[in-house]
Amino acid sequence: MIILKNISKTYHNGAVEVPVLQDISFSIDAGEFVTIMGPSGAGKSTLLHILGMLDIPSRGEYYFLDQPAHQFSEKMRTQFHREYIGFVFQRYHLIDALTVYENLETPLIYQKQKR
């Protein structure tokens, strides 16, 4: 289960603060499918990066499997990301010099899976 409580994300461009997400709250139950929709620049990718533990919120609480992900160290976020989270990217993030099999095999190295 995923629970977000008042998640906000602000980026800094010099002295200027750029708010991207403001007070986002929702929950996703195990086995539930959700869609994130919105216009370009609405913060969809930022939200996905937070959900995928690739980024951290500026404020708010994020619970993943009843664990306070917003308090995880980088090492713990990496461990949870490897074990529980997968992404299908909009753009193909493939390495041209590798075969299809090698491109598929690469993430398994980081998960320490048998090939």
Q: What is the pLDDT along the chain (115 residues), one digit of tens a residue?
A: 999 999 999 999 899 999 999 999 999 999 999 999 999 989 999 999 999 998 999 999 999 999 999 999 999 998 888 888 877 666 667 788 888 888 788 777 766 655 5
CA 37 vs CA 65, 69, 81: distances in Å: 24, 24, 23
Can you give the CATH number for the domain in which 50 is found? 3.40.50.300
Domain limits at 74?
A: 2-111
What total of structural domains would you count in the chain?
Answer: 1
Cβ atoms within 10 Å, residue 62:
21
Position 26 scores a pLDDT of 97
Q: For residues 54 and 72, what is the distance between their CA atoms, to the nearest angstrom?
A: 12
